[in-house]
Structure 1
Amino acid sequence: MENIRITKQFNFETGHALYGYDGKCKNVHGHSYKLSVTVIGKPITDTSNVKLGMVIDFGDLKKIVKEEVVDPFDHATVFNKNTPHIELARELEKRGHKIILADYQPTSENMVVDFANKIQKRLPDTIKLHSLKLRETETAYAEWYAADN
């Protein structure tokens, strides 16, 4: 059986600020992110398996990505915890805001690496993460490919 790639797309709203940046993104703002997750594997050939012909059930992939990325990041604000933004983050948390304190500057590039690591850990051994595309705006996105890493 041939290897097949399948892709599932996800949408979520997330705020962030880039500490020390010299442009507009130093301010707290948000994006309507679009994440495309592509995995690769061989379709199931066991005729007794209810998932016959599937690389992975789209529902199973959705569960992983929702739990690892969409649910935590949707309507959250991400700050680099190693910057003075931590003070703002703590104040917002006290006021009931959903905050993520990351070990990295929350750029699309760093977020896509974080997402790849989280998703890879949850995939069955027979399925490999092929690529991620994290679209920040209609004209700007970051991509992660397993073959590059």
Structure 2
Amino acid sequence: MSKIRITKQFTFETGHALYGYDGKCKNVHGHSYKLSVTVIGTPIKEENHVKLGMVIDFGDLKKIVKEEIVDVFDHASVFNKNTPHKELALELEKQGHNIILVDYQPTSEQMLIDFANKINLRLPHSISLHSLKLQETDTSYAEWYAADNPRD
């Protein structure tokens, strides 16, 4: 059986700040993120199956990623909950801003680990997450590959 990779791309706007960082990114700022999600599986061969020939319906993949990532992170500000930015975050939240407090430094690298965990929990058992690419700017991105991260 042939394995096929399917990729769906997403965009969202997110703000963050990197506490303790020695450059400009210590300040609150935002990015227009581009996320590519690639899954791998074998196309459905059951003749009477409504998804015949598909690894996964692009719409089904979109639903998972929108619910777990895009709808949560779009137009939100992400802060590490263990930094002094927490006070700023709580004040912004009181004023109606969409704030996400996480257990990690909100870099592209750490966000990808978080995203991979969330997406993996929602994929059908017959499909595996192959890779993620999170583009922060036109020239900078981070990648996560399942092959580099064996599951426990």
Per the TM superposition, whether the score is higher than 0.5 is yes
Matching residue of 1:109: 109
Tell me the CA shift for residue 70 of structure 1.
0.1
Tell me the CA shift for residue 92 of structure 1.
0.2
Matching residue of 2:145: 145
Matched residue SS, 2:47? coil
Matching residue of 2:16: 16
Matching residue of 1:70: 70
Tell me the CA shift for residue 115 of structure 1.
0.3
Tell me the CA shift for residue 139 of structure 1.
0.3
Tell me the CA shift for residue 4 of structure 1.
0.2
Q: Distance in 2 between matches of 1:63 and 1:125?
A: 16
Q: Does 1:90 align with 2:90?
A: yes
Structure 2: stretches of 5+ with no match in the other structure: none
The number of aligned residues is 149
TM-score between both structures, scaled by the size of structure 1: 0.99
The alignment's C-alpha RMSD in Å is 0.4
Identity among equivalent positions (%) equals 81
Tell me the CA shift for residue 18 of structure 1.
0.2
Matching residue of 1:80: 80
Q: Distance in 1 between matches of 2:137 and 2:121?
A: 27
Q: Distance in 2 between matches of 1:104 and 1:82?
A: 8
Structure 1: stretches of 5+ with no match in the other structure: none
Matching residue of 1:36: 36
Q: Distance in 1 between matches of 2:71 and 2:135?
A: 17
